[in-house]
């Protein structure tokens, strides 16, 4: 069922986005804010899903990622792996089609798995010019930075020094710049301005700081495992770095060069709308007879 659902999503996107594809290929006249007309082309600049959805849209299968070719055992490497590209994925799909009939979903999926693909025959972006998955799946602060910190970094800190000690230290410590130290929680709020990747304008010096910070982590990460503070379910110690968001962080600088600062690609608005338009009304329902209540 999941493969068929994924097929349907790609088919719907293919139909809905066809005008944008034509505009990217042929151009279209558009007006600017002061009424002047311009001949414009519309490449896919950014698509902002969570990681599982991005995997599905990129045609990734198994424990892979939508923007690089890294496998899960390589997620903790200190360098960025080769990017996912159209020139790699589409020829692989051609080989799969030569070995199995796309209408035979089970057989096609089996052949696609050999290339770590998810069995989607036609990707919605396959005929969109100037499009690359490693470019349009841009880093997103809520999922890639907030959740990375909350799901991993904060837990290592709490395990290492204790929750009370950490709260006491954060409550009174002030940086030399005058900004209060932040312990970042997962929320729909704005990222604190002290976070480098959230800056509205980033120059080469900022890029260097971002790269150096990530390199410093990788240079010292073994101490976290040695201290036994990287733990999983049941409080069991984990001795590997198979964390998808670590590999995704390797693409932040590349994405800034390709698509601009990541602060403009935010899921905050849609995540908040999901709460106000879906979750809150659902809590007000009786969980029966949905259609009349929606209407």
pLDDT in tens, 189-209: 444 444 555 566 788 988 898
pLDDT digits (tens, 9 = 90+) for 52-110: 899 999 999 888 999 999 999 999 999 999 999 999 999 999 999 999 999 999 999 99
pLDDT band, residue 148 (cuts 50/70/90) = confident
Residue 223 has pLDDT above 70, yes or no: yes
Residue 187 has pLDDT above 70, yes or no: no
More confident call, 115 vs 61 = 115
**Model pLDDT, residue 62:** 83
Computed over every residue of the chain, the mean pLDDT equals 84
pTM for the complete prediction? 0.78
**Model pLDDT, residue 166:** 64
pLDDT band, residue 170 (cuts 50/70/90) = low
Residue 28 β-bridge partners: 40
Please tell me the least confidently modeled range out of 91-95, 139-143, 213-217, 252-256: 139-143
**Model pLDDT, residue 190:** 41
pLDDT band, residue 176 (cuts 50/70/90) = very low
pLDDT digits (tens, 9 = 90+) for 238-270: 999 999 989 999 999 999 999 888 878 877 777
């Amino acid at each position: 069922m999941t493969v068929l659902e994924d097929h349907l999503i790609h088919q719907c996107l293919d139909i809905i986005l066809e005008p944008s594809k034509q505009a990217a290929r042929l151009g279209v006249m558009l007006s600017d804010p002061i009424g002047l007309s311009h001949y414009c082309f519309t490449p896919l600049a950014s698509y902002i899903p969570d990681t599982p959805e991005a995997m599905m849209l990129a045609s990734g299968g198994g424990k892979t990622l939508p923007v690089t070719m890294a496998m899960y055992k390589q997620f903790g490497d200190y360098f960025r792996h080769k990017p996912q590209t159209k020139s790699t994925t589409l020829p692989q799909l051609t080989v799969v089609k030569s070995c199995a009939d796309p209408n035979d979903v089970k057989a096609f999926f089996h052949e696609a798995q050999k290339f770590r693909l998810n069995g989607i025959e036609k990707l919605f972006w396959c005929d969109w010019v100037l499009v690359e998955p490693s470019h349009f799946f841009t880093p997103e602060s809520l999922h890639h930075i907030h959740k990375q910190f909350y799901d991993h970094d904060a837990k290592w800190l709490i395990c290492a020094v204790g929750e009370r000690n950490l709260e006491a230290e954060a409550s009174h410590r002030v940086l030399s710049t005058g900004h209060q130290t932040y312990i970042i929680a997962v929320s729909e709020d704005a990222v604190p301005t002290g976070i480098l990747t959230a800056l509205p304008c980033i120059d080469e010096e900022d890029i260097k700081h971002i790269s150096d910070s990530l390199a410093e982590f990788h240079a010292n990460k073994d101490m976290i495992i040695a201290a036994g503070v990287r733990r999983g379910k049941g409080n069991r110690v984990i001795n590997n770095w198979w964390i998808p968001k670590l590999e995704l962080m390797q693409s932040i600088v590349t994405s800034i060069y390709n698509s601009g600062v990541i602060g403009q690609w935010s899921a905050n608005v849609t995540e908040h709308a999901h709460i106000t338009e879906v979750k809150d009304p659902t809590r007000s329902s009786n969980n029966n007879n949905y259609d009349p209540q929606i209407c």
